[in-house]
Amino acid sequence: MDQAVPFVAPLSGSRPPVVLQVLPALVTGGVERGTIDVAAALAEAGWTAIVASEGGPMARELSRVGAEHITLPLASKNPLTIRRNADRLSELIEQRGVDIVHARSRAPAWSAWMAAGRTNRHFVTTFHGTYNLGWFGLKNRYNSVMTRGERVIAISEFIAEHAWRIYGVDPERIRVVPRGIDLSRFDPARVSPERIIQLAQKWRLPDGYQVIMLPGRLTRWKGQAVLIEAMALLDRRDLRCLLVGSDQGRTDYRDYLVDLVHRRRLGDIVHLAGECNDMPAAYMLTDVVVSASTDPEAFGRVAVEGQAMGRAVIATDHGASAETVLPGQTGWLTPPGDAEALAKALDRFLALNSDGRDSMARRAMDHVRAKFTKETMCARTLAVYDEVLSQPVPLRLP
């Protein structure tokens, strides 16, 4: 399914190619970050980069990287709004001479697919997740728009296999482009001691304790409860465990976690730290990073960020984790929902001496730098664009 295509310069012609990326909004998240990173790479390569969304705090970054943002109500799932958005996008495509329309989320993808068809433009999608499957095939049809690109970019081999197995996407159309992280940000050498101290004081972390961290929004499938149960099984008082992430209004689940911590008598061990705006410093405060997701991760950004910061990672053995974590070399994989196995993996890490930890840290950083950088992701995405531009626009994929 994957095709190792090197970066190719824009095709010669009267003007640089124009790429329009569409997504619901630019608030926060991996989809949004990837959109901006690719827009910056397009501008740097001399292409014209346009992004359409409802906007948000991240929109201002586009102007800084030389891209343009167009505000449209693309987060709406209302069928009438989707059709009106198709009209708006068609007009935009014609006015700006767009060559490629790249859809990154389902609702705006329907508008983009219709607009690309009307204007005879290339259409590319990025398949970012497994998406929920619904009854009677209705949800599957809604999801299926993400399979209609001339090229379907999958963010992991796991997602590529899912797109083929569930939706029947021809493997010849799939290109695997893993997410990439910004090593200018996730670099241990760039995190000052002051930032680490400031965060330790905010979280009231005492000296001399090893720290276990699970970053991720507070939602059941992220597996915070599994880690709490594992901490109870470890039964060690010389540790601190941080659950870092916003509840995003899920107060019932947060209350459940607080109650579970109390029932397991871990009140002085496990802390719900809330949202963190300086994750590089948070990783530097940590000895080992946990990703305990009970549902498969489509990519698993936390596991890659942790390794980039030289931290061992213990992740759940399903989804894309097998692609991002090297068992026994950069961390360990444990069965989903298995608190006992997670406790054993944590115990195994905690028993490592300093040389063992240093070796694991070096391997983790080398692994990420070789496979999961922002630069690699952008180069491979632009190569997909170039591949599409080298071929005629198809009449319409079924």
DSSP at 181: B
Give which of 45, 60, 292, 324 is closest to 176, Cα–Cα: 324
The contacts of residue 347 (CB under 8 Å, 6+ apart) are: 234
Identify the residue whose tokens are 């790479």.
41
Q: How far is CA 309 from CA 29, 82, 170, in A?
A: 19, 41, 37
Domains of the chain: 18-180+374-389 (3.40.50.2000), 188-371 (3.40.50.2000)
pLDDT at 10: 42
pLDDT score recorded for residue 13: 53
Compute mean pLDDT per 10 residues along the chain, 398 residues long, and list them. 40 78 91 95 97 94 95 94 96 97 95 96 93 64 90 96 92 96 95 96 94 95 97 96 91 96 97 95 97 95 96 96 95 98 97 96 97 96 97 73
Distance CA 59, CA 68 (A): 9
Query: SS3 of 262, please?
Result: helix
Distances (CA, A) of 257 to 342, 346, 388: 18, 20, 48
Q: Give me the pLDDT at residue 338, please.
A: 98
- φ and ψ at 210, to 5 degrees? -80, 145
- 8 A C-beta contact, residue 230 and residue 269: no
Pair 288, 314: CB distance under 8 Å:
yes
pTM of the model: 0.89
Helix (H) or strand (E) run with residue 323 in it:
helix 321-324
Three-class SS state of 31: helix
